[in-house]
Amino acid sequence: MNCEELLRQLAAYREGALPEGICAEIERHIGDCSPCAEVDQDLRDLARLCRESKLPGLPVETRRRIEALLGRRHEPPSSD
Ligand SMILES: [Zn+2]
């Protein structure tokens, strides 16, 4: 798996949506490739921030883009 393939599948990987064999390839790649490991770390940080709603005042459109990037379906915010 090259970097481009990895980045394309990273969001799905984080969602747990990929078969075990692909996950193993991704984990191996991230272990060897520091740029991809950084992207993976950023994605995890973003996902955590979204989950914890620690993005105060973030425009809905921006949040939607982040969620799209993370491969999540947009759920209408309950409070804003
Ligand atoms: Zn890579």
SS3 of 21-54: HHHHHHHHHHHHCHHHHHHHHHHHHHHHHHHHCC
Please provide residue 45's backbone torsions phi and psi, each rounded to the nearest 5 degrees: -60, -45
> 54 C-alpha to center of ligand 1: Å?
29
Determine the pLDDT at residue 77. Answer: 60
Per domain, the residue ranges of the chain are 3-73
> 16 C-alpha to center of ligand 1: Å?
19
What's the pLDDT tens digit per position in 6-62? 999 998 898 889 999 999 999 999 999 999 999 999 888 887 877 777 666 677 787
Instruction: Judge whether 15 and 72 are in contact, CB under 8 Å.
Output: yes
Determine the pLDDT at residue 65. Answer: 81
> 80 C-alpha to center of ligand 1: Å?
38
Average pLDDT over residues 67-78: 66
